[in-house]
Amino acid sequence: MQPDHRSKTNTLGYDSLDRAAVGENTQQFITFTLGAEEYGIDIMVVREIKGWTATTMIPNAPAHVRGVINLRGVIVPIFDLRARFNMGLTVTTAMHVVIIVATGTRTIGLLVDTVSDIISVDPKAIRQVPELGLPAQDQFIDGLVALEDRMVTLVSLTGLFDSHVREPAARNVPDQTAATMAA
Amino acid sequence: MSLTADQDTLAQFRKTYFEECTELLDALQSNLDLLTNGGADEETLHAIFRSVHSIKGGAGAFGFTALVCFSHVFESLLDAIRERKVEANPEVVGLLLRASDALTDIVNAARGGRTLAADFGADIAAMMEDALGSASEPGPASDAPIAAETKVPGEHRYQILFNPHAELLKKANEPLLLIRQLRRLGGLRVDVDTSRLPPLDRIEPEGAYLGWRFTLDTGVPKSVVHEVFEFVEDDCELTIEAERPATSVAAPEAAIAADDAELSVKPVELAAAAPSQSIRVDVDKVDRLVNLVGELVITQAMLTEQSSLLPPDQYTVLIQGIEALAQSARELQESVMAIRAQPVKSVFARMPRVVRDLAATLGKEVRIVTAGETTEIDKTVIEQLNDPLTHMIRNALDHGIEDPATRTAAGKARQGTIRLSAAQRSGRIIIEIADDGRGINREKVLAKAQQRGLVPAGAALSEEEIDNLIFLPAFSTADVVSNISGRGVGMDVVKRNVQALGGRISVQSRFGEGSRFTLSLPLTLAVLDGMVVSVAKETFIIPLTAIIESLRPRANDIHPVVGRGEVLALRGEYVPLIPLYRCFSISGAIKDPCRGIVIIVQSEHAGRIGVMVDDLIGQQQVVVKSLESNYGSVEGVGGATILGNGRVALILDIERLRIADQPASNPLAATGEAASIVSTVSREETHHAA
């Protein structure tokens, strides 16, 4: 995997790599940004990072499904992580980045703003998400990591996409439950 | 080959053995069918024997005792038949067929690690023993004349040195059998070499200490002598040397005891045909190759597209090169697809047993005649052909063919016939299943359909339309044609399976004379001829096989149907219009049918429908890719492909096109109702037209 030249912070420097080499028991994450927030994803599931290219729409798909692309002959769906987090659709430019990840038997792409860093984290340093009273969000998050001056949210791929890739966006869930109860 | 091979290797060998068994059993089956139909010659008998013998050989190596025991008896009987000691009369052939079925079951049990009842096949084995016993008794009486024949001078004399290793015995091979087999080839002198025999206290019970020296006078070539040792070659020291043609016959007393001297000396024409040049390749490897070639074709299409933008006078060589590349890529793709093609024989060969089993259960007399088994079709299609075919054969037997008494009363032969044939016709495979049974009772079918509200009372349907009603889901478990309970799935499921393969099914029937089901299947599932169409900025592929025509309608041919969209009047018929932009909620598309293009397609469940798109782009052969493997299934989409520009285009599934009721609504809630609208419209309108 090559560092992405578009990365805004470009901190794939010696500092982080050295830290990566030191820890025996550490887990590595690739961090990326959505707006001002920084998120992390387990490096082991990441297959490659590529720039945003136009997609082919999938009819009647939820808003966070941005369509499919041809990744060397494999049809790969691209999910807009910002939309998945209910923060609105990403307005894509050539500067946007797609992280190709493998989850279970599937290969999918995550549309994010930039890829910024590789961090090594001692699993003991991963903190639980404090109760924020937003149950729908909890399943997307594996934990929080505090680095010197910033906080990285570790994204749970299984929580995001495992139940069913095409499930409607989380905001629809309460509506449906209400409908079922009414019926 | 050592027996200390680790578990993985052993498992691999086992897997290979069972793969071979499947092929051997298929071959056994088809040769037995040949025998049943009287088309068998000497070679067929030998082939049958070899199949069983090979299964037994492997079973010994892996320690499948039940399999060894059963196939041993089976083999003995077959041996006696090819030696003409037992006559292959219909009774014996019937026994062989039952034995082959039992052998299949035993092999399958061994493969699945299951244990069958201890006495499984014992009855058949006993019957085979009886058949053998009755044949061998009168033997000695006819000894003398044939024994004389044995002394016909051989043309060749071979010196054979044979020193078996212990492995040979461990694999359940028996030197005595080999010696007997050698003796059948001609005059044989046997000298035992006991020099390696250790003192009694040091003899390992499972060791091999004896060696033999044979002098064989025979008329057969060396290769045939060699073939006797075919299965043991790796586990012994073996030298076969030809001497000068023998001038005198080996002294009669030199041959081993004369107990089976009645054996014919007729030179055995063992498969002289050169072994067909083939290799066993993992399907995954072939699939990878197919995928790669698919990639190549896409890249090539992209290059071709780009090269057309170049000024030809400056880039002559490049453009010529790309044209040559296109040609080679296409040929490569065809060749790779041909690797996946297999004769339909592998499926057809399973059908006789289905017929035998069911005919016995139902007390009917039925024979199956197959034709065109060598027709080749893509492996994926073949694999998915078994179930629909089995069901249709069962159906023909169950509902079509009458019992012997009824047949005789109707002036037909007692024995019913089912014909199964395959042929290639204009890029598709046509498979026909015809029976000479009672045919479809149209009155009954129509009455049933009307009773179930599938056809409006008083509707005038053509005979063909009535026949095709049996494919409707509501008929699945019905006692429409006979009162015998249906087995397994209904014809609607068969139809769905066939459609899933991109195929079509139809039926023709004459009451009292029989029915004929015709399947039309694509040669491959991996490549599809498609019409490229556009809707707003999106591109879609419509399978060419579904398209009847495309047209730009006039305003006065479009009629709104209240609450149900629009229909198009087409030569006196009303065709429901399905605007693709509404199915797929695409904005920016042409909404006026008169400015777009309507493609009339044949939908199996809703008859003709008019799919409205913005424009036609052109015809193209596309490589079908899965959308489901990384995403999921999408209503109205059958798959995806990659266009020349590298972009993905979705392939429409005509059968599952639905109009989303309101473009902005939740798609999951929309599908159900819209579906019924489409089919209701089509049905009603067709009948109005009729």
Tell which of A56, A71, A106 to mutate to test the B interface (max B CBs under 10 Å): A56
CA B670 and chain centroid, separation: 40
CA angle, B538 as apex, B534 and B542 as ends, to 5°? 50
Nearest to A70 among B538, B585, B646 (CB): B646
**Listed residue (A66, A106, A50) closest to B631, CA to CA:** A106
**Listed residue (B539, B647, B628) closest to B586, CA to CA:** B539
**Cβ B667–A165 below 8 Å, yes or no?**
no
Helices (H), B399-451: 404-409, 442-451
Estimate the crossing angle of helix B491-500 against helix B386-395, to 10 degrees: 150
What is the reported pLDDT for B88? 77
**Cβ A60–B646 below 8 Å, yes or no?**
no
- Please indicate whether residue A9 or residue B391 has the higher confidence score (pLDDT): B391
**Cβ A75–B630 below 8 Å, yes or no?**
yes
User: Of the CATH numbers 2.40.50.840, 3.30.1490.20, 1.20.120.160, 2.70.50.60, which one belongs to the domain with range B7-137?
Assistant: 1.20.120.160
**Cβ A75–B635 below 8 Å, yes or no?**
no
Nearest to B635 among A56, A60, A106 (CB): A60
Please list every residue in chain B whose beta carbon sits closer than 8 Å to the beta carbon of residue A166: 631-632
**Cβ B627–A57 below 8 Å, yes or no?**
no
CB pairs under 8 A between A and B: 82
Phi, psi of B278 (to 5 degrees): -145, 160
Please list every residue in chain B whose beta carbon sits closer than 8 Å to the beta carbon of residue A61: 634, 667
Nearest to A107 among B625, B630, B640 (CB): B630
CA angle, B458 as apex, B456 and B459 as ends, to 5°? 65
**Listed residue (B44, B47, B41) closest to B23, CA to CA:** B47
pLDDT above 70: percentage of residues in chain B: 83
The mean-pLDDT minimum among A11-25, A112-126, B102-116 falls in: A11-25
| Sequence ranges of the domains in chain A | 14-182
pLDDT above 60 (res A183): no
Chain B residue with CA closest to A164: the answer is: B632
Q: Using a cut of 0.90, tell me whether the model's pTM lies above it.
A: no
**Cβ A56–B538 below 8 Å, yes or no?**
yes
Residue B18 CB partners (closer than 8 Å, separation 6+): B107, B110, B111
What is the reported pLDDT for B597? 93
| Sequence ranges of the domains in chain B | 7-137, 147-260, 283-342, 344-522, 527-689
Q: Return the CATH number of the domain spanning residue range B147-260.
A: 3.30.70
Tell me what the mean pLDDT of segment B346-363 comes to.
86
Please list every residue in chain B whose beta carbon sits closer than 8 Å to the beta carbon of residue A105: 629
Indicate the residue type of B574.
Y
Residue B474: pLDDT band (50, 70, 90) is low
Q: How far apart are CA B78 and CA B66, in angstroms?
A: 18
pLDDT above 80 (res B2): no
The mean-pLDDT minimum among A53-57, A66-70, B152-156, B390-394 falls in: B152-156
- Top-tier CATH class for B527-689: mainly beta
**Cβ B632–A164 below 8 Å, yes or no?**
yes
Alpha carbon of B637: minimum distance to chain A alpha carbons (Å): 9
**Cβ B647–A56 below 8 Å, yes or no?**
yes
Please list every residue in chain A whose beta carbon sits closer than 8 Å to the beta carbon of residue B666: 168, 172
Please state, rounded to an integer, the average pLDDT across all residues of chain B: 77
Alpha carbon of A176: minimum distance to chain B alpha carbons (Å): 10
**Cβ B650–A59 below 8 Å, yes or no?**
yes
Tell me what the mean pLDDT of segment A136-161 comes to.
80
Residue B262 has a CB neighbour count (10 Å cut-off) of 21
Please list every residue in chain A whose beta carbon sits closer than 8 Å to the beta carbon of residue B637: 58-59
B604, A80 contact by CB (below 8 A): no
- Top-tier CATH class for A14-182: mainly beta
Estimate the crossing angle of helix B42-62 against helix B7-36, to 10 degrees: 160
What is the reported pLDDT for B247? 44
Nearest to B637 among A54, A55, A59 (CB): A59
Q: Return the CATH number of the domain spanning residue range B344-522.
A: 3.30.565.10
- Please indicate whether residue A32 or residue B329 has the higher confidence score (pLDDT): A32
Maximum Cα–Cα distance across chain A: 60
DSSP state of B649: E
Q: How far apart are CA B585 and CA B613, in angstroms?
A: 13
**Cβ A75–B583 below 8 Å, yes or no?**
no
Tell me what the mean pLDDT of segment A118-143 comes to.
77
Nearest to A108 among B630, B634, B635 (CB): B630
Six-digit token string for B283: 């399907």
Nearest to A75 among B584, B635, B648 (CB): B648
Tell which of B290, B585, B631 to mutate to test the A interface (max A CBs under 10 Å): B631
pLDDT above 80 (res B254): no
